[in-house]
Amino acid sequence: MYGLFLRHFYLITRSFPRVLDLVYWPTIQITLWGFISNFFATHTTYYNNAVGVILTCAILYDFLFRTSIGFNMLFLEEIWSRNFTNLFIAPMKIGEILTSLVATALIRALIGLIPAVLLTSPLFGISILDLGIFLFFLFLSLYLFGITLGILVSAGLLRYGPSFENIAWSTMFLLAPFGCIYYPIEILPEVFQKIAYLLPLVYIFEEARNILINQTVDIQNIYYAFMWNGVYFVLSIALFYYSFNVAKNKGTLINMGE
Amino acid sequence: MKNLVEVKNIKKNYGKNEAVKGISFNIKEDEILGLLGPNGSGKTTTIGMLLGLLKPTSGEIFINGKKLEGNRIEILEQINFISPYIELPKKLTVKQNLTVYGKLYKINNINERIEFLSEKLRLGGLLNSITGELSSGQKNRVSLAKALINEPKVLLLDEPTASLDPEVGDFVRSFLEDYKKEKKISILLASHNMNEVTRLCKSILMMKDGIIIDKGNPEELINKHGRKNLEEVFLKLSRSKNELN
């Protein structure tokens, strides 16, 4: 019995991502649900006139989640199937690998999204299409951020190997409290608000609520979302190239999946 | 015969650990070079550097006259690799896997190439089978087909017949001999099967602790060390102090 305990104890203590994973989930869950509870306790009438807002935001968030996880899954599947080395000795540039993953992740996300959008109308009498033409910009912005997160996680997998896998699953949840998906930014403590304003998510979800509740459009929110997306996208690409070079120095590429 | 592979004084350090300490060798076209050595001697690191998966700390590698550094993609089009430690996606059929790699290597007439390889490697009846459901011997032949999909000029083989039964092992060895002779390619063979190395290789490098401790053809090495066969030479060199630097 003690032997089995030791087997898992040694595994955890030898891997920083695994230790982080243990601490991470309870902290994130408590923080996210704390803010949601706090918001509903203090703003009971906020959603009175727009019952579809929560559902619309849930669909938008799910699209982001599917895009990001979809990208990570494509990368992880190559590691799990021990096909990773075969891919990296094929004559493909890093840019070509990323482009094909980005396109495939979009198709995967759309396959998941379309049925969800179609179901909301007959089941709940709500249509996400109420967001109008700006829905396209919100989705595009979420897609960009989703693949940016996917590229960042894949860079981590290249750098640290399969032990980074747990982080791959949890990045979206780390950002959820700061994304202000189900509540306005004012509900966050001031220091969290400063962090939230550095992410495109807050602009996207604030704008979705603004369109649905106030029936107005604030172009500045969409502009800021794209601006931050551009910054993070460029950073993620740079980090992926850097991680690839580190992996070539450390030997991660040849040992991946073993 | 020209050298298709030229390795010039390559070193690889992982932090303070020197995995490969400055080795040089060439592989001519129509040659199979055996790379022998105990576990941890630097064989896999050397192969990793030849594949561009590992960056040498110093030294240079030339494949078919082109320097690997700076021409990685162009060179990867001309080489391929097989190892029991890497596999093809298990859920895809054999034909789907070969088609994917045919596309990745930008092969024209993929179907013709698959047909040619499936005939040579006895895969005809397996093309529509799920790769993960094949036996070890069948998977090995599929991996070999993938490794030959781009008609490589240089083939790197890491334990190509490990875990195969004698019949399949013999088939793979015969195939490699014939293919090398027909296409005039260079093959680097890392193996712990001394009979295989004796049969296939005219020249051998013996590695230990990151350096080449001896080299020559199998017969020369056996005579030089006064042993009956290559396995005994391997054991002697593995257990002795480094002889040649």
**What are the backbone dihedrals phi and psi of residue B10, each rounded to the nearest 5 degrees, phi first?**
-80, 140
Q: What average pLDDT score do residues B116-126 get?
A: 92
**Residue B175, both tokens:** 């195939």
With an 8 Å Cβ cutoff, are A86 and B101 in contact?
Answer: yes
In angstroms, the CA A203 to CA A180 distance is: 9
A3 located within any domain = no
Cross-chain CB nearest to A81 (options B48, B87, B146)? B87
Cross-chain CB nearest to B76 (options A89, A248, A257)? A89
Model confidence pLDDT, tens digit, residues A67-88: 888 888 888 888 888 888 899 9
Q: What is the pTM assigned to this prediction? A: 0.84
Asked if the C-beta of B151 comes within 8 angstroms of chain A's C-beta atoms, the answer is no
Beta-carbon contacts of B133 under 8 Å, excluding residues fewer than 6 positions away, are none
- Residue A220's domain comprises 30-255
With beta carbons less than 8 A apart as the criterion, state whether B9 and B46 touch.
no
Residues from chain A contacting residue B81 (CB–CB below 8 Å)? 85-86, 89
A17 located within any domain = no
Q: Which helix (H) or strand (E) holds B26?
A: strand B17-28
Model confidence pLDDT, tens digit, residues B210-231: 999 999 999 999 999 999 999 9
In angstroms, the CA A13 to CA A228 distance is: 36
Provide the residue type at B237 as one letter. L
pLDDT, residue A46, reads: 66
In angstroms, the CA B175 to CA B228 distance is: 27
- B78 to chain A, closest Cα gap in Å: 9
Q: Count Cα neighbours of B172 within 13 Å in the Cβ-side half-sphere.
A: 28
Mapped onto helix, strand or coil, the DSSP state of residue B176 is helix
Mean pLDDT in chain A? 84
**Residue B185, both tokens:** 């390619």
- B164 to chain A, closest Cα gap in Å: 19
- B177 to chain A, closest Cα gap in Å: 24
- B133 to chain A, closest Cα gap in Å: 13
pLDDT, residue A258, reads: 45
A5 located within any domain = no
Cross-chain CB nearest to A83 (options B77, B81, B89)? B89
Cross-chain CB nearest to B101 (options A81, A84, A90)? A90
Mapped onto helix, strand or coil, the DSSP state of residue A75 is helix
Residues from chain A contacting residue B90 (CB–CB below 8 Å)? 81
Residues from chain B contacting residue A88 (CB–CB below 8 Å)? 53
Closest CA to A205 of A187, A222, A192: A222
Read off the pLDDT band of A66 (50, 70, 90). confident
Model confidence pLDDT, tens digit, residues B42-74: 999 999 999 999 999 999 999 999 999 999 999
pLDDT, residue A31, reads: 74
Beta-carbon contacts of A167 under 8 Å, excluding residues fewer than 6 positions away, are A17, A20, A21, A153, A156
Beta-carbon contacts of B239 under 8 Å, excluding residues fewer than 6 positions away, are none
The number of angstroms, rounded, from the C-alpha of A223 to the middle of its chain's C-alpha atoms is 20
pLDDT, residue A50, reads: 59
Read off the pLDDT band of B26 (50, 70, 90). very high
In B, minimum Cα distance to A245 occurs at B55
A217 located within any domain = yes
If one counts the domains in chain A, the total is 1
Residues from chain B contacting residue A254 (CB–CB below 8 Å)? 44, 47-48, 51, 53-54
A16 located within any domain = no
Instruction: Provide the Cα torsion A55, A112, A226, A234; round to 10°.
Output: 140
With beta carbons less than 8 A apart as the criterion, state whether A221 and A134 touch.
no
Beta-carbon contacts of B190 under 8 Å, excluding residues fewer than 6 positions away, are B34, B35, B36, B43, B44, B47, B156, B157, B158, B159
**Residue B114, both tokens:** 């698959």
Q: What are residue B190's DSSP bridge partners?
A: B35, B158
In angstroms, the CA A179 to CA A201 distance is: 5
Residues from chain B contacting residue A91 (CB–CB below 8 Å)? 73-74, 76-77, 104-106
Kindly list the distances between the CA atom of residue B41 and the CA atoms of B10, B56, B60, B211, in Å, as whole numbers in the listed order. Answer: 14, 16, 20, 8
Asked if the C-beta of B108 comes within 8 angstroms of chain A's C-beta atoms, the answer is no
In angstroms, the CA B96 to CA B89 distance is: 10
A196 located within any domain = yes
In B, minimum Cα distance to A77 occurs at B89
Cross-chain CB nearest to A89 (options B81, B85, B90)? B81
- A60 to chain B, closest Cα gap in Å: 32
- B215 to chain A, closest Cα gap in Å: 26
In angstroms, the CA B96 to CA B143 distance is: 13
With beta carbons less than 8 A apart as the criterion, state whether A155 and A252 touch.
no
| Total beta-carbon pairs less than 8 A apart between chain A and chain B | 72
Across A194-221, b (16+ Cβ under 10 Å) vs e yields: eebeebbbbbbbbbbbbbbeeeebeeeb
DSSP state of B130: B
With beta carbons less than 8 A apart as the criterion, state whether B207 and B41 touch.
yes
With an 8 Å Cβ cutoff, are A77 and B89 in contact?
Answer: yes
With an 8 Å Cβ cutoff, are A251 and B76 in contact?
Answer: no
What is the 3-state composition of chain B as percent helix, strand, coil, each rounded to the nearest 5?
Answer: 40, 25, 35
The packing angle between helices A52-80 and A134-160, to 10°, is 30
Q: What residue ranges define each of the domains in chain B, with the CATH number in brackets?
A: 3-78+152-239 (3.40.50.300), 88-151 (no CATH)
Which one of A73, A87, A254, A258 would you mutate to disrupt binding with B, by most B Cβ within 10 Å of its Cβ? Answer: A254
In B, minimum Cα distance to A247 occurs at B54
A76 located within any domain = yes
In B, minimum Cα distance to A158 occurs at B53
- A136 to chain B, closest Cα gap in Å: 33
With beta carbons less than 8 A apart as the criterion, state whether A152 and A171 touch.
yes
pLDDT, residue A89, reads: 93
- Residue with the two structure tokens 């991680």: A243
pLDDT, residue A51, reads: 61
* Side-by-side strand order, sheet with B17-28: B17-28, B3-14, B58-63, B66-67
In A, minimum Cα distance to B71 occurs at A91
pLDDT of A21 higher than 90: no
A204 located within any domain = yes
- B229 to chain A, closest Cα gap in Å: 32
Q: What are residue B35's DSSP bridge partners?
A: B190, B205
Mapped onto helix, strand or coil, the DSSP state of residue A243 is helix
DSSP state of A221: H
pLDDT of B242 higher than 60: no
